[in-house]
Amino acid sequence: MNINWNYPKVRGGFWGGIDKLIGPGATKAEKRIQLYIPALAGVAAVIFSREVSSSQSLGQVILLFLLTIDIVGGIITNATSSAKRWFHREGQGVRQHLSFVAVHFVQLSLVASMFLEGDWLWVAVTGGYMMMASWVILMTPLYLQRPIALMMYAGALLLSLYWFGAPVGLEWFLPLFYLKLLVSHILREEPYRPESDQTTNEEV
Protein backbone atom coordinates (compact mmCIF):
# COMPACT_ATOMS: atom_id res chain seq x y z
CA MET A 1 0.00 0.00 0.00
CA ASN A 2 1.40 3.39 -0.98
CA ILE A 3 0.52 7.08 -0.64
CA ASN A 4 0.08 8.92 -3.93
CA TRP A 5 -1.10 12.54 -4.18
CA ASN A 6 -0.85 12.55 -7.99
CA TYR A 7 -4.12 12.15 -9.86
CA PRO A 8 -4.86 11.70 -13.56
CA LYS A 9 -6.20 14.48 -15.73
CA VAL A 10 -9.90 15.18 -15.35
CA ARG A 11 -11.77 13.80 -18.33
CA GLY A 12 -14.07 15.87 -20.52
CA GLY A 13 -17.86 15.82 -20.75
CA PHE A 14 -20.04 13.67 -18.50
CA TRP A 15 -17.18 11.61 -17.10
CA GLY A 16 -15.33 14.77 -16.23
CA GLY A 17 -18.27 15.80 -14.05
CA ILE A 18 -18.09 12.44 -12.30
CA ASP A 19 -14.34 12.90 -11.78
CA LYS A 20 -14.98 16.22 -10.04
CA LEU A 21 -17.53 14.60 -7.73
CA ILE A 22 -15.62 11.49 -6.68
CA GLY A 23 -12.04 12.33 -7.58
CA PRO A 24 -10.13 11.45 -10.77
CA GLY A 25 -8.71 7.96 -10.81
CA ALA A 26 -11.25 6.41 -8.46
CA THR A 27 -10.83 2.64 -8.36
CA LYS A 28 -13.58 0.20 -9.25
CA ALA A 29 -13.93 -0.77 -5.59
CA GLU A 30 -14.35 2.87 -4.55
CA LYS A 31 -16.98 3.42 -7.24
CA ARG A 32 -18.94 0.33 -6.29
CA ILE A 33 -19.28 1.16 -2.60
CA GLN A 34 -20.27 4.73 -3.54
CA LEU A 35 -22.98 3.42 -5.86
CA TYR A 36 -24.53 0.40 -4.17
CA ILE A 37 -24.47 1.25 -0.45
CA PRO A 38 -26.20 4.66 -0.79
CA ALA A 39 -28.93 3.12 -2.96
CA LEU A 40 -29.60 0.44 -0.36
CA ALA A 41 -29.55 3.08 2.39
CA GLY A 42 -32.12 5.14 0.47
CA VAL A 43 -34.53 2.22 0.31
CA ALA A 44 -33.96 1.39 3.98
CA ALA A 45 -34.58 5.01 5.03
CA VAL A 46 -37.89 5.12 3.17
CA ILE A 47 -39.02 1.82 4.69
CA PHE A 48 -38.04 2.95 8.20
CA SER A 49 -39.72 6.32 7.77
CA ARG A 50 -42.96 4.72 6.55
CA GLU A 51 -42.92 2.43 9.56
CA VAL A 52 -42.82 5.34 12.03
CA SER A 53 -44.92 7.82 10.04
CA SER A 54 -47.44 6.72 7.41
CA SER A 55 -48.64 10.27 6.67
CA GLN A 56 -45.78 11.33 4.43
CA SER A 57 -46.59 12.68 0.99
CA LEU A 58 -45.05 11.36 -2.21
CA GLY A 59 -42.87 14.46 -2.37
CA GLN A 60 -41.56 13.83 1.13
CA VAL A 61 -40.78 10.20 0.33
CA ILE A 62 -38.89 11.16 -2.84
CA LEU A 63 -36.92 13.87 -1.01
CA LEU A 64 -36.11 11.47 1.80
CA PHE A 65 -34.81 8.89 -0.68
CA LEU A 66 -32.63 11.45 -2.49
CA LEU A 67 -31.32 13.00 0.71
CA THR A 68 -30.31 9.60 2.03
CA ILE A 69 -28.45 8.74 -1.15
CA ASP A 70 -26.66 12.09 -1.06
CA ILE A 71 -25.73 11.96 2.63
CA VAL A 72 -24.61 8.32 2.74
CA GLY A 73 -22.94 8.63 -0.64
CA GLY A 74 -21.19 11.78 0.56
CA ILE A 75 -19.88 10.11 3.69
CA ILE A 76 -18.38 7.32 1.62
CA THR A 77 -17.16 9.41 -1.31
CA ASN A 78 -15.48 12.13 0.72
CA ALA A 79 -13.64 9.49 2.77
CA THR A 80 -12.12 7.70 -0.23
CA SER A 81 -8.48 8.22 -1.10
CA SER A 82 -9.39 9.43 -4.59
CA ALA A 83 -11.63 12.15 -3.18
CA LYS A 84 -9.11 13.11 -0.50
CA ARG A 85 -6.36 13.82 -2.98
CA TRP A 86 -8.77 15.74 -5.25
CA PHE A 87 -10.57 17.90 -2.68
CA HIS A 88 -7.34 18.55 -0.77
CA ARG A 89 -5.16 19.21 -3.81
CA GLU A 90 -3.00 22.28 -4.12
CA GLY A 91 -5.12 25.43 -4.30
CA GLN A 92 -7.95 24.05 -2.17
CA GLY A 93 -7.92 26.09 1.02
CA VAL A 94 -10.25 27.42 3.69
CA ARG A 95 -12.40 29.42 1.26
CA GLN A 96 -12.97 26.48 -1.08
CA HIS A 97 -13.83 24.08 1.73
CA LEU A 98 -16.19 26.54 3.43
CA SER A 99 -17.88 27.17 0.07
CA PHE A 100 -18.43 23.42 -0.32
CA VAL A 101 -19.90 23.22 3.19
CA ALA A 102 -22.10 26.29 2.68
CA VAL A 103 -23.84 24.65 -0.29
CA HIS A 104 -25.38 22.24 2.21
CA PHE A 105 -27.68 24.97 3.50
CA VAL A 106 -29.80 23.77 0.56
CA GLN A 107 -30.30 20.37 2.18
CA LEU A 108 -31.15 21.91 5.55
CA SER A 109 -33.63 24.24 3.85
CA LEU A 110 -35.30 21.36 1.99
CA VAL A 111 -35.73 19.40 5.24
CA ALA A 112 -37.15 22.45 7.01
CA SER A 113 -39.50 23.22 4.13
CA MET A 114 -40.78 19.69 3.56
CA PHE A 115 -40.72 18.22 7.07
CA LEU A 116 -40.62 21.09 9.60
CA GLU A 117 -43.23 23.49 8.20
CA GLY A 118 -40.62 26.06 7.21
CA ASP A 119 -38.71 26.28 10.48
CA TRP A 120 -35.99 28.67 9.29
CA LEU A 121 -34.64 29.17 12.80
CA TRP A 122 -33.77 25.45 12.72
CA VAL A 123 -31.92 26.03 9.44
CA ALA A 124 -30.03 29.00 10.90
CA VAL A 125 -29.01 27.17 14.08
CA THR A 126 -28.03 23.84 12.50
CA GLY A 127 -26.35 25.58 9.58
CA GLY A 128 -24.61 28.01 11.89
CA TYR A 129 -23.03 25.16 13.81
CA MET A 130 -22.08 23.52 10.50
CA MET A 131 -20.18 26.63 9.38
CA MET A 132 -18.64 27.42 12.76
CA ALA A 133 -17.40 23.88 13.33
CA SER A 134 -15.96 23.68 9.81
CA TRP A 135 -14.13 26.98 10.28
CA VAL A 136 -12.69 25.87 13.62
CA ILE A 137 -11.38 22.63 12.11
CA LEU A 138 -9.86 24.35 9.09
CA MET A 139 -8.14 27.00 11.21
CA THR A 140 -6.58 24.35 13.45
CA PRO A 141 -2.98 23.24 12.72
CA LEU A 142 -3.06 20.18 10.50
CA TYR A 143 -1.63 17.81 13.11
CA LEU A 144 -4.51 18.66 15.46
CA GLN A 145 -7.35 18.70 12.95
CA ARG A 146 -8.39 15.07 13.44
CA PRO A 147 -9.04 15.30 17.21
CA ILE A 148 -10.64 18.74 16.85
CA ALA A 149 -12.90 17.46 14.06
CA LEU A 150 -14.00 14.53 16.21
CA MET A 151 -14.63 16.88 19.13
CA MET A 152 -16.75 19.18 16.95
CA TYR A 153 -18.61 16.16 15.60
CA ALA A 154 -19.26 14.89 19.13
CA GLY A 155 -20.74 18.31 19.90
CA ALA A 156 -22.88 18.10 16.77
CA LEU A 157 -24.10 14.66 17.77
CA LEU A 158 -25.14 15.78 21.25
CA LEU A 159 -26.81 18.94 19.95
CA SER A 160 -28.64 16.93 17.29
CA LEU A 161 -29.96 14.45 19.86
CA TYR A 162 -30.89 16.84 22.66
CA TRP A 163 -31.46 20.34 21.24
CA PHE A 164 -31.76 20.76 17.48
CA GLY A 165 -34.53 18.20 17.08
CA ALA A 166 -35.50 16.33 13.93
CA PRO A 167 -38.60 15.30 11.97
CA VAL A 168 -40.11 11.93 12.88
CA GLY A 169 -38.32 9.25 10.88
CA LEU A 170 -35.35 11.53 10.13
CA GLU A 171 -33.62 11.34 13.50
CA TRP A 172 -30.56 10.02 11.66
CA PHE A 173 -30.32 13.01 9.32
CA LEU A 174 -28.27 15.52 11.33
CA PRO A 175 -25.81 13.00 12.81
CA LEU A 176 -24.98 11.66 9.33
CA PHE A 177 -25.12 15.16 7.79
CA TYR A 178 -22.43 16.40 10.17
CA LEU A 179 -20.40 13.21 9.75
CA LYS A 180 -20.25 13.84 6.02
CA LEU A 181 -19.00 17.40 6.39
CA LEU A 182 -16.99 17.62 9.62
CA VAL A 183 -15.19 14.29 9.34
CA SER A 184 -15.41 12.83 5.84
CA HIS A 185 -14.89 16.04 3.85
CA ILE A 186 -12.95 18.54 5.95
CA LEU A 187 -10.16 16.28 7.18
CA ARG A 188 -7.05 16.12 5.01
CA GLU A 189 -5.76 12.55 5.13
CA GLU A 190 -3.21 10.53 3.22
CA PRO A 191 -4.54 9.06 -0.05
CA TYR A 192 -3.53 5.42 0.28
CA ARG A 193 -3.58 3.60 -3.04
CA PRO A 194 -3.49 -0.08 -4.04
CA GLU A 195 -0.11 -1.35 -5.21
CA SER A 196 -1.44 -1.69 -8.76
CA ASP A 197 -2.57 1.95 -8.93
CA GLN A 198 -1.27 3.79 -11.97
CA THR A 199 -3.28 7.01 -11.36
CA THR A 200 -5.53 6.25 -14.33
CA ASN A 201 -9.28 6.56 -14.57
CA GLU A 202 -11.26 3.32 -14.56
CA GLU A 203 -14.84 3.17 -15.77
CA VAL A 204 -17.37 1.31 -13.61
Per-residue pLDDT of the chain (204 residues; tens, 9 = 90+): 789 898 999 998 999 999 999 999 999 999 999 999 999 999 999 998 878 777 788 999 999 999 999 999 999 999 999 999 999 999 999 999 999 999 999 999 999 999 999 999 999 999 999 999 999 999 999 999 999 999 999 999 999 999 998 888 899 999 999 999 999 999 999 999 887 776 554 444
Residue 45's CB is within 10 A of a number of other CB atoms, namely: 23
DSSP class of residue 90? T
pTM of the predicted protein model = 0.91
Question: What is the residue range of 89's domain?
Answer: 13-193
**Domain membership flag for residue 61:** yes
Q: Residue 49 has what pLDDT? A: 84
Alpha helices in 80-144 (DSSP H): 81-87, 94-102, 105-115, 120-139
**Domain membership flag for residue 79:** yes
**Domain membership flag for residue 92:** yes
- Domains: count for the chain: 1
> Whole-angstrom Cα distance, residue 15 to residue 37?
21
**Domain membership flag for residue 200:** no
**Domain membership flag for residue 2:** no
Nearest to 45 by CA among 130, 153, 167: 167
**Domain membership flag for residue 7:** no
> Whole-angstrom Cα distance, residue 166 to residue 115?
9
**Domain membership flag for residue 29:** yes
E-assigned strand segments in the chain: 2-3, 192-193
